[in-house]
Amino acid sequence: MKETSLVIVAAGKGERAGGACGTAKQFRTLGGICLWKWSASAGERLYARGRVHECVLVVPEIALDAVHRETFGWKAPFRVVPGGAERQESVLRGIEAASGEYVLVHDGARPFLSEELADRLIDSLTLDCGVIPLLPVSDALKKTGDDRTLVPFPREGLWLSQTPQGFPRKKLVSVLTSHGGGAKDEAEAWISAGLPLLQVKGERKNIKITWEEDFALAESYVQRTVRTGIGYDIHPLVPGRRFILGGVDFPDFPLGFAGYSDGDVLVHAVCDALLGAAGMGDIGLIYPAGDPVYRNIASIRLLADTARRVKQDGWTLEWIDSVICAQEPKLARSLPRMISTMEEVFPEAWRGRLHLKAKSGERVGPVGESHSIVCHSAATLWRPADIF
Ligand code: CTP
Ligand code: MG
């Protein structure tokens, strides 16, 4: 097997995408997932198939620890190293930290690295040549002439260069070390050293996020896995307990929920709907009654933890709808407070996606006679199919 390292460079400032005003593009999210993780997860898949033997992530010095922590538990060996001021410097640091006989150098700003493209490149690697994915230019071209007027420019023989670009690693180290700097990609330095370059077919979807508007384009490329889960809960109403519903205290209501926790049926139903959609079991499994940690616990804390776990697994909330079946107290006026209390413990991107309804028990059965309150909930989540 060719020992190949995948080096992902993600140490730039992302200025053209507006990084100077806030977060650099590689730390913004695409499909709810941090941009650099898209390439890293491609690395995981290539490692699982035995196509690369390690990954090196090149990131800004300040992000070293945070990125390193994020790679705990991943299957491929990940090295995280600091980048330099120029792309070429970042690449050099990455390939020096790598150990493979060959190296694939990839932009962390290109989230859609397919296995087919990586395979084409790896299959073409030899100790003599570099290999680069190219695409023919499809638009008509114009060039600014000497007098600033536009003149047509022939597109024949012009190619768009993508990454990953593959090379014998030690040769690339020496090429980049002796190159004057400022190379837009490795192939540029490789060619100017007089070395041969093979080409493979690039992919239109393998875009580099460069400008702000590229994020919207990339979002439209994300394939989604969408799942819906349901939740249900019932608790008896008894005197001498507080009545807490949707995290909101109703001190004037004389009854409260019997239960091991505070018995907040709405929060429990919502937790179960979320866990069901994420395929993560239910609250009884994760926060078992009988464990002293959860005795009389405010269930809103369980919701905060559930949302954290679900998000951690890559899911983004699309919508939650719930119905509370209660004869009393009258709840309609309190629904907005319950929504805001519950949304407060959600990740920011999940807010504005929780809907509540209240229904009376029509004075029939245990709900209608105020012996219990019942809640039903449905949650829809999605996550990028390309990653998980
Ligand atoms: N890169 C890097 N180190 C640098 C500059 C760039 O690792 N000093 C990385 C970027 O993080 C990106 C890839 O090289 O993944 C391609 O570069 P580019 O698209 O130009 O990203 P930025 O340099 O971050 O963006 P800009 O040029 O708009 O500032
Ligand atoms: Mg740049």
Instruction: Please write the tens of the pLDDT for every residue from 108-166.
Output: 999 999 999 999 999 999 999 999 999 999 999 999 988 899 999 999 999 999 999 99
**Residues near 348 by beta carbon (within 8 Å), at least 6 away in sequence:** none
Q: How far is CA 213 from the centre of its chain?
A: 19
Going by pLDDT thresholds of 50, 70 and 90, the confidence category of residue 19 is confident
Give the pair of three-digit tokens for residue 4.
């190949």
Q: Ligand 1 center to residue 324 CA distance, Å?
A: 51
pLDDT at residue 89 in the model: 96
Ligand nearest to the CA of 161: 1
Burial of residue 58, with CB atoms counted within 10 A of its CB: 0-12 exposed, 13-18 middle, 19 or more buried: buried
Is the Cβ atom of 63 under 6 angstroms away from ligand 1? Answer: no
Degrees to nearest 5, angle at CA 229 with 223 and 232? 165
The pLDDT assigned to 165 comes to: 98
CA of 14 to the centre of ligand 2 (A): 7
Nearest CA among 293, 307, 300 for reference residue 263: 300
Q: In the chain, how many H helices and how many E strands?
A: 12, 19
Distance between Cα 154 and ligand 2 center (Å): 27
Find the mean pLDDT for residues 73-77. 95
Q: Tell me how far apart the alpha carbons of residues 28 and 24 are, in angstroms, rounded to a whole number.
A: 7
- Which residues are CB-contacts of 244 (< 8 A; sequence separation ≥ 6)? 250, 256, 257, 262, 263, 264, 298, 299
With a cut of 90, say whether residue 22 has pLDDT above it: no
**Index of the ligand 1 atom closest to the CA of residue 19:** 29
pLDDT value at 235 more than 80? yes
For range 13-23, the mean pLDDT: 89
pLDDT, tens digit, 9 for 90 and up, residues 28-43? 999 999 999 999 999 9
Q: What is the pLDDT of residues 270-322, one digit of tens each?
A: 999 999 999 999 999 999 999 999 999 999 999 999 999 999 999 999 999 99
Q: Is the CB of 12 under 6 A from ligand 1?
A: yes
Q: Whose CA is nearest to atom 6 of ligand 1?
A: 12
Average pLDDT over residues 185-198: 97
Residue 164 contacts residue 6 (beta carbons within 8 Å): yes
Residues lining ion ligand 2 (Cβ < 5 A) are 12
Q: How far is the CA of 137 from the centre of ligand 1 (A)?
A: 22
**In the chain, what are the domains?**
4-221 (3.90.550.10), 224-384 (3.30.1330.50)
Distance CA 285, CA 272 (A): 10
**Average pLDDT score, the chain:** 96
Tell me the pLDDT tens digit for each residue of 121-134: 999 999 999 999 99
Please give the distance, rounded to the nearest whole angstrom, from the Cα atom of residue 87 to the centre of ligand 2: 7
Per-residue pLDDT tens over the stretch 273-286:
999 999 999 999 99
Percent of the chain scoring above 70 in pLDDT: 100
State the pLDDT confidence band at 181, using cuts at 50, 70 and 90: confident
